[in-house]
Amino acid sequence: MQQIGRLFDSGAPSSPTRVCPPRSFHLKTVNFFKRRETASIDPDVGILCDSQGPQCQVSLSGSITIDSTPDLRLLLLQRLQSSNCQSLTLDFYGVTFIGTSGLAMLVDLLKAARGLGKTFHLSRLRERPRYLLEATHLLHLFDVVSSEGPPASCAVPESQA
């Protein structure tokens, strides 16, 4: 778990089997430093972190289960607590399943964001995760910024669609 925290502190992972190094750096015309990082905490969960100025987005894919939730919670809390991140958006387009431990993690993240005076958004919720949030009456707590499909440059295999 400490290795995941180092991803956001130093930008260099201590173990290549747990966390991938930053993939690319881009300088935008508006002079914001954009950074993209991938992380691997569980073979069933994909994580892609994008930062542009104070806006942070974490794109998730796969199944968020009781096995992946502890490490994912730690990674997302550390991301949220970073001084560079004032607004965290979780992109759920690639998430095919989320268990009750994942719901508890989302509530923890929302409470942490509010305590830190930061914003926390959910984006592109698909049918199954959205249904679970609605059925548990939790969806109204979150700011859902988009429910649209993938961007034109994002190809999702039909097996996940």
The 3-class SS string of the chain reads CHHHHHHHHCCCCCCCCCECCCCEEEECCCCCEEEEEEEEEECCEEEEEEEECCEEEEEEEEEECCCCHHHHHHHHHHHHHCCCCCEEEEEEEEEEEECHHHHHHHHHHHHHHHHHCCEEEEECCCHHHHHHHHHCCCHHHCEEEECCCCCCCCCCCCCCC
57 pLDDT exceeds 70?
Answer: yes
pLDDT band at 150 (very low <50, low <70, confident <90, very high): low
Q: Which pLDDT tens digit goes with each residue over 12-56?
A: 433 333 333 333 323 233 333 445 555 556 667 888 888 888 999
pLDDT score for 149: 59
pLDDT score for 72: 92
151 pLDDT exceeds 60?
Answer: no
pLDDT score for 112: 96
Domain spanning 2-146, CATH class:
alpha beta
160 pLDDT exceeds 50?
Answer: no
Averaged pLDDT for residues 57-72 = 92
pLDDT band at 58 (very low <50, low <70, confident <90, very high): very high
This prediction has a pTM of: 0.67
pLDDT score for 6: 42
pLDDT score for 40: 53
Q: Which pLDDT tens digit goes with each residue over 71-123?
A: 999 999 999 999 889 999 999 999 999 999 999 999 999 999 999 999 999 99
